[in-house]
Structure 1
Amino acid sequence: MNETPAYPVAWEADVVLRDGTTTHVRPIVPDDADALQRFQMHQSERSSYYRFFAPVRSLTDRELEKFTNVDHTDRAALVAVRPGPDEPSVEDIIGVARYDVVEPGLAEVAFNVADSVQGMGLGSVLLEHLAAAARERGVRRFTADVLPQNGTMLAVFRDAGYGVRQQIDDGVVTVSVDLDPTERSREVMADREHRAEARSMQALLSARRVLLVGPGLPQDDGGDAPGAQSAALLAQRVIDAAVADPGDTELFVLDAPCAVLPDAPALHAVATWDDVPPVDLVLLSLPAVHAVAAVRRLAGTGARGVVVLSAGFAETGPGGLERQRELLRAAHGLGMRVVGPASYGIVTTVPGARLRASLADRAPAPGVVGLFCQSSPAAVTLAATLERRGLGVSALVSAGHRADVSGNDLMQYWLTDPATQVACLYLESIGNPRKFTRVARRLAAEKPVVVVVAGRSGQVVPPGHAVRATSAPRAMLDAMLRQAGVIRAENTHQLIDIAQVLAHQPLPRGGRVGILASSAALAALVAEAAAANGLVVAASSDFLAPERSADDVRRSVEALYADDACDVVVVVDVPVVMPRGDVVARTVAQAAARTGRTTVVSVVGLHGLPDELAATAPDGSTVRVPAYSTPEDAVAALGKVVGYARWREQDHGAPVRPSGVDRTRARRIVEQVLASGGTPDDGALLDDATAAELLGCYGLHPWRAASVRTADEAVAAAQELGWPVALKTADQVLRHRTDLGGVRLDLGDADELRDAVERMTAVAVATGIEPVLEVQSMAPAGVAVVVRSVEDPLFGPVVSFGLAGDAVDLLGDVASAVAPLTDVDVRDLVRAVRAAPRLFGYQGAPLADVDAVEDVVARVAVMADDLPELASLELYPVVVAERGASTLHAAVRVRRATERRDPLRRVLPA
């Protein structure tokens, strides 16, 4: 394929269709002429009539030249392609979308989808991608002429969620589509993305016929290629595991590393590629240099996914990274998802549908926990912990370097999977935090999500993981997880601790904890741990004397589980002299099952989910109380679960929609600034007038400040603006420092102002800065705060809030969140800083207008979300008075945007 100089590489993308298969979308090029002609000739008469209003059988040479030669600006076209069935190296077009600009900001659009893939959502995908490309080129509206009987195309426009108008004239429907994203269009894309990605995961996890491709590929250097020995060991491990525990899986082995396969009913040898039967899933255990060729030979097998067990890809350097990209291109082109490389595989435990496509020699016990991890070592550790604790799972998926399938995909699937009631993820890196937040928040509203991230900051990037660098503070990861509503575990040990409670106990109704301990000292220890984890000790707490009888135990337990005695229960039994008996454990288990009260225990000799702590509930189900090695572990897990239960009960709000927003004008201002040239890599700082104009598009209006150099100019400015005034140096550091002479406030007459100008000019000269000053009217007294946004390469638009002042800055008392935000997010952000009480009448001070400052934060969040070009924005200070909030200074920096990790179109990892 020959790329034209203006070829927009960023428009290329792999996408998932409605049935869970994949395809590649890219801009059209002149070399597509033959493929476009084949596409047109295979279209039905009906489809051709809908597209051209005539039964066009083939395109003329002139039409082919026109359709394939575009400038990607005023004329653009996208094609969806897949490898041809007869010759995989030749691409077939299965869909075309194009626009032609007819006047500034307006383009005529047309779509044509192959008959063979109609009904799979390709039209809506092409509309999303073409709209994103058009917006990038300054097109704000599409128009199209559609025949009334073409209900499918009309539905694509109508159901996309954009602003749509239509009218009928001379038997043709003219449709007009506003391309500015709306809340509805975002919801539509998210819903379609969820269904498609969930369907693609369902195809992998429900596979029954699995093909293992071993290292003995029929190539001359197959046995000597780097990694061949390792690949052979991996393949042998899969075979041994399939013999030991086949589940409900049939394993077909191509080019097995052993001369003769073991005799097993679910194991079948395949001699050559021509003998490969239809399969659902492929396990690839090959040297990396042969992986791409093997994937290309899977055309026609029906496989929906490839699990790459071997390594040797992106972690080895640029050559390996390109090999990994080729692997993705080949698999996605054939409609398949990729798990790996360096994956431990996939195991599911649903009765009657147990999938064994893994290196694990034993599958975990069946259960309701969905477990996702990345590296194979992590999978081994987690599998061993599950077995030791007796905790069952619905599925265990290892994504390795997660070149394609990630935790986001599994969360999309688990949202509607009835077998999975708890989602647990061990993440070594997060490649798309913005999408993670969006998907995890949706899942957490229905089912608990527990996450452990390697490293406290989440900024450790293992070899082979494609993660953009970030300049966000280390606390950003915690803020993002809180915003998503997920439970953050400190380590894998605590991940399983929390999962035990969620999988086998009901969600708590509150945070009042009842304690039953075998000594007063233990009761005090648990009470201290409870307070540290946000729990309140209830009056029902008690301790059991060493000489307790069975009746004593029963009476204490009944009091603890009495109606409204507490919300959760912690039992700690550590006998000192007498050997441990089962009376306490069984009595507590029966009470917990009978009442449905969330319970955890720490009893010597019991760990995990032992039978001694199992009992039958009134509905006949078996309830297990989780046991922990230490009381601190039990209380810590319980505290996390109580926190999640509180989050579930809260109103999470609606996306903020401030009034008076003019996105079209804001986009035009930014494009004009960038078109003027001279924008450095770190962005161009807008002058005050342009910054005020841009901020005004979002209802943000910084107070006017007059720039002066002399006392006479300052007095004239003060008379125009109105007394009293403030005088500030224009220096970005000193302008906020009253203590260093950079600011003088409440100057009421000309003499005071002249004196201040003289003093401030002297300070400027002494410190070596230009003596440029600013005069500004005094704002009403109040609390000074700072609102910022930064476009982070990894997290996207990060909005932060804090109170102004050295102490706050030095202590890092700043709260951050990733846009878009809901009204509840905004409220929580303002209240998250430790100095927030100053806004609420601290020590008798007047109450500040919190609603006004929340409105400022909301507008900044919307602006940051709308404009990826907004490199940074700082409103400092914003003075929040008893009524209103005054923005006294704004600094705005813009730069050419790179595509966000979670763009306004559905895409798979590139």
Structure 2
Amino acid sequence: MSDTAAYPVAWEADVVLRDGTTTHLRPIRPDDADALQRFQVNQSERSSYFRFFAPVRRLSDRELELFTHVDHVERAALVAVRTSPADPGTEDILGVARYDVVAPGQAEVAFNVADSVQGVGLGSVLLEHLAAAARERGLRRFTADVLPQNGGMLAVFRDAGYAVRQQLDDGVVTVSVDLDPTERSRQVMADREHRAEARSMQALLTARRVLLIGPGPDDGAPGWSGHALLAQRVLDAAATDPGDTELFVLHPPGAPGPHAREVPTGADVPEIDLVLLALPAADAVTAVRQLAGRGARGVVVLSAGFAETGPDGLERQRELLRVAHGLGMRVVGPASWGVVTTVPGTRLRASLAEHAPAPGVVGIFCQSAPAAVTLAATLVRRSLGVSAIVSAGHRADVSGNDLMQYWLTDAATQVACLYLESIGNPRKFTRVARRLATEKPVVVVVAGRSGQVVPPGHAVRATHAPRALLDEMLRQSGVIRAENTHQLIDIAQVLAHQPLPRGARVGILASSAALAVLVAEAAAAHGLVVASSSDFLAPERSADDVERVVESLYAQDACDAVVVVDVPVVSERGDVVARAVAHAAARTGRTTVVSMIGLHGMADELAATAPDGTPVRVPAYSTPEDAVAALGKVVAYARWRERDHGVAVQPAGVDRRAARRVVEDALATAPVTADGIETGVQLDGAAAAELLACYGLRVWPVRRAQTADDAVAAADELGWPVALKTASRILRHRTDLGGVRLDLGDADELREAVDRMRAVARGAGLEPLLEVQSMAPTGVAVVVRSVEDPLFGPVISFGLAGDAVDLLGDVASAVAPLTDVDVRELVRRVRAAPRLFGYLGAPRADVDAVEDLVARVSVMADDLPELASLELYPVVAAERGVSVLHAAVRLRRAEERRDPLRRVLPD
């Protein structure tokens, strides 16, 4: 390691603590001396004794110099800071974590957390971030001396999920922590992240004391009238239905009215829970900074004028986040429509909504304000109740991931619906959505089919992933993908008011034979199986006829779900069918959807009561196709819920430390452009084989040859028979163009093949460099690739070699990390997969070995963000085992992934 390094800006991060508040972590700086001294003076004698093994009241000048001047390599320290309530222009240190290298790969660590924030998980967060910084510097172990009485610090080490050893010697516990991530450490981090983010959302959604800040009455700044209109809209909405909140108003655009209390100046602002900003962007930061010490847990920014306006606006947005997080607050917005909750006792009206939706069990997250307006109007029109609606605007901070974390344990929300204009952190979305979807249905609409649309103001990394990857990511997450907002609500209606179907068998009740046939066709198209169908509902139907047929359709085990279509041609629709179907659905618990003229949404005509007294409503749709499409999506989700989703793959024989050494050695000599950008490095055959061997992957040896004598000597060394290939990337896999000759059994055959192949290479204008390799067992050739995408992270793809991949795009992809079930489905999802299973009498390939290879590649790609690309092609899957015949590996220094091995808020 070098003796010093530039200030590591990448180590800075905003984080959420266990109590839902935020704080900022950053490397310590020399100018932190005064803040560090204040921190030490305010510590209790007990905390000081635990840290220094002595009751140190103040730090000496020499100690302050030592602690604040670090090189960020051999000595490093992180501080957790928050804006001082007494002086918003300064920062208070809440905690310090440091390491000092004591041996190669090993450092001694020490932690000190302020008494005022002990018990909120700051020590765990500091350990996560310090461990990540240490791994970046090549460290692999922490040691610490801890007093036995310091149970809190011992628990931080013990509960982190790393491999920990403890030894008591002379009254001091020596703790040794291996920093290599484990499956348990990842799970611990995810669990703590879930609790913290859910708690921060709970604080927002249950706020009782809300402060609205609008432009001052004498404010003549540009945009005053527009922001005054925003503030007035909030006041008007609160006047219509104030919910259970107490509204305070600073700088109202007019008289606030009896439903709100005016606050004369910023100094008069009381203790509050939530802030609504309707200010020009230039004034937002100042307004938030003045809220120090007022207790607010979040700020909803209704105003626009931030990142969508360009670099200056982006910097204003970043400054807003820095200030808000420094005060412990989450940020919703900018350009948010607001937040509405309907749970009795905590009803919150902090939005521009003219009318609040009815109470219900559907939680809705959307980004842009126009989308929120559309969804809210649709909910009212269909009489579908919600538990909450949150509009994140440009989602500079609060995102759909945060709401899913909250909904996982929110009893009031049973269905999660998200309208996403962009996905800023797909890796985190995948793991959070998957966790939620195993408990509650998650329905998602993504703007644009590819999910690669980036609206103005949204900070999203560029992606080079194929368009189909979004579908694969959502499928992998277990979410229900809706085509548009219309279908989003269609699906939510079923999930909110009907039980999940037990299977895919559907019974059809239609008012004509033609309709019954059309519904059956639609059902088949959506993966449903028609178990029974009736077209009895003629104009002369009687109540007894209806009752009899409905009872037959809802008989035990007759079907798993029912589709009812009633479109009378001559007479007007009556309520006989609706009442009979509603009561049968409530009595039997059979999933039911209907399409009836004049009924839409959650109609009263389709309401009934279950035997246990639970109210039940059958959702109604404008068209039979909409009803069947929604039911088909719900059935597919129910099947996913019932399936085994597997466990994270953990292949044996993986040496991560050796792999890290190979990567660091290779990148140490990577070429750099004139402007200092590292271009990466393509590993040669030996280095690639060494790296792959760290993950239990053996590449068959190959020898280069320029002459026939070289080729024969190579064959003698490797063993006959052999394959001869051109080293050219253009011809190396092209048997049809003479770039490959197989099963050469003696020197004469090989010499002849060398002469022909050299002629082919010269004819193509290529260097006639050849490769010799022993013949692998015959089998099915497959290709496995990994690419590190800036947005999605490691993307693993699988296909069968040849035209199926190159011309038809028959490739399956998934985002690592993968479970064993993910791997199994990835291999089987390509259309040419039957060739692996004895297609047309051919020998069956060793699919287990193929899956093991894919699993190892996925673990390797997940471990090494520097793995820019990996291609194993061809890989021959024989009846027993697989043979990796060629590997191409490219490495480059990588940015930190969007879902790193540490808890962090959006950058």
With the length of structure 2 as denominator, give the TM-score of the two structures.
0.98
> How far apart are the structure 1 equivalents of 2:108 and 2:129?
15
Q: Is the 1:523–1:543 contact (alpha carbons within 8 Å) kept by the matching residues of 2?
A: no
Indicate the SS of the match to 2:219. coil
> How far apart are the structure 1 equivalents of 2:708 and 2:58?
79
Q: 2:29 maps to what in 1?
A: 29
> How far apart are the structure 2 equivalents of 1:655 and 1:541?
47
> How far apart are the structure 1 equivalents of 2:650 and 2:321?
39
Q: 1:261 maps to what in 2?
A: 256
> How far apart are the structure 2 equivalents of 1:426 and 1:677?
43
Q: 1:863 maps to what in 2?
A: 860
Q: 1:894 maps to what in 2?
A: 891
- Deviation track 1:51-72 (CA, whole Å, cap 9, x = no partner) reads 0111111111111111111110
Q: 2:618 maps to what in 1?
A: 625
Amino acid at match of 1:803: L
Q: 1:823 maps to what in 2?
A: 820
Indicate the SS of the match to 1:494. helix
Offset at residue 254 of structure 1 (A):
0.4
> How far apart are the structure 1 equivalents of 2:210 and 2:165?
49
Amino acid at match of 2:494: V
Indicate the SS of the match to 1:165. strand
Q: Is the 1:17–1:122 contact (alpha carbons within 8 Å) kept by the matching residues of 2?
A: yes
> How far apart are the structure 1 equivalents of 2:678 and 2:220?
47
Runs of 4+ aligned structure 1 residues displaced above 6 Å come to none
Q: 1:579 maps to what in 2?
A: 572
> How far apart are the structure 2 equivalents of 1:569 and 1:682?
60
| 2:607 aligned residue (614, 617, 624) | 614
Q: 2:303 maps to what in 1?
A: 310
Offset at residue 541 of structure 1 (A):
4.9
- Deviation track 1:708-767 (CA, whole Å, cap 9, x = no partner) reads 111111111112111111111111231111111111111122222111111111111111
| 1:907 aligned residue (883, 904, 907) | 904
Q: 2:693 maps to what in 1?
A: 696
Q: Is the 1:540–1:559 contact (alpha carbons within 8 Å) kept by the matching residues of 2?
A: no
Offset at residue 437 of structure 1 (A):
0.3
Q: Is the 2:671–2:678 contact (alpha carbons within 8 Å) kept by the matching residues of 1?
A: no
Q: 1:233 maps to what in 2?
A: 229
Q: 1:152 maps to what in 2?
A: 152
Q: 2:130 maps to what in 1?
A: 130
Amino acid at match of 2:839: Y
What is the aligned-residue RMSD (CA, Å)?
Answer: 1.1
Amino acid at match of 2:72: H
1:564 and 2:549 matched: no
Where do residues 440-589 of structure 1 align in structure 2 (5 Å cutoff)? 440-539=433-532, 541-589=534-582
Amino acid at match of 2:181: P
Offset at residue 676 of structure 1 (A):
2.0
Q: Is the 1:782–1:882 contact (alpha carbons within 8 Å) kept by the matching residues of 2?
A: yes
Amino acid at match of 1:251: L
Consecutive unaligned residues in structure 2, runs of 5 or more: none
Offset at residue 84 of structure 1 (A):
1.5
Q: Is the 2:723–2:740 contact (alpha carbons within 8 Å) kept by the matching residues of 1?
A: yes
- Deviation track 1:522-545 (CA, whole Å, cap 9, x = no partner) reads 111111111110111114555433
> How far apart are the structure 1 equivalents of 2:826 and 2:419?
27
> How far apart are the structure 1 equivalents of 2:799 and 2:16?
41
Q: Is the 1:227–1:288 contact (alpha carbons within 8 Å) kept by the matching residues of 2?
A: no
Indicate the SS of the match to 1:626. coil
> How far apart are the structure 1 equivalents of 2:5 and 2:315?
22
1:392 and 2:385 matched: yes
Where do residues 478-877 of structure 1 align in structure 2 (5 Å cutoff)? 478-539=471-532, 541-678=534-671, 681=678, 683-877=680-874
> How far apart are the structure 1 equivalents of 2:155 and 2:373?
48
Q: Is the 1:512–1:566 contact (alpha carbons within 8 Å) kept by the matching residues of 2?
A: yes
> How far apart are the structure 2 equivalents of 1:741 and 1:548?
76
Indicate the SS of the match to 1:734. coil
Indicate the SS of the match to 1:892. strand
> How far apart are the structure 2 equivalents of 1:320 and 1:560?
61
Indicate the SS of the match to 1:370. strand
- Deviation track 1:631-667 (CA, whole Å, cap 9, x = no partner) reads 1110000000000000000010000000000001101
Aligned residues: 900
Offset at residue 5 of structure 1 (A):
6.5
Indicate the SS of the match to 1:474. coil
Q: 2:245 maps to what in 1?
A: 249
> How far apart are the structure 2 equivalents of 1:344 and 1:487?
25
- Percent identity over the alignment is 83
Q: 1:58 maps to what in 2?
A: 58
> How far apart are the structure 2 equivalents of 1:137 and 1:820?
24
1:91 and 2:87 matched: no
Q: Is the 1:97–1:126 contact (alpha carbons within 8 Å) kept by the matching residues of 2?
A: yes
> How far apart are the structure 2 equivalents of 1:100 and 1:738?
58
User: Bigger shift: 833-842 or 900-909?
Assistant: 833-842
> How far apart are the structure 2 equivalents of 1:368 and 1:65?
57
User: Bigger shift: 205-214 or 766-775?
Assistant: 766-775
Indicate the SS of the match to 1:739. helix
> How far apart are the structure 2 equivalents of 1:518 and 1:57?
86
Q: 1:108 maps to what in 2?
A: 108
> How far apart are the structure 1 equivalents of 2:836 and 2:534?
38
Q: 1:402 maps to what in 2?
A: 395
Offset at residue 769 of structure 1 (A):
1.3
- Deviation track 1:416-438 (CA, whole Å, cap 9, x = no partner) reads 00000000000000000000001
- Deviation track 1:226-281 (CA, whole Å, cap 9, x = no partner) reads 332211110010011111111111111100011x222x2x3111111111111110
Offset at residue 681 of structure 1 (A):
4.7
- Deviation track 1:365-417 (CA, whole Å, cap 9, x = no partner) reads 10000000000000000001001111000000000000000000000000000
Q: 2:409 maps to what in 1?
A: 416
> How far apart are the structure 2 equivalents of 1:777 and 1:906?
49
> How far apart are the structure 2 equivalents of 1:768 and 1:541?
71
Offset at residue 301 of structure 1 (A):
1.1
Q: Is the 2:5–2:73 contact (alpha carbons within 8 Å) kept by the matching residues of 1?
A: no
> How far apart are the structure 2 equivalents of 1:84 and 1:557?
69
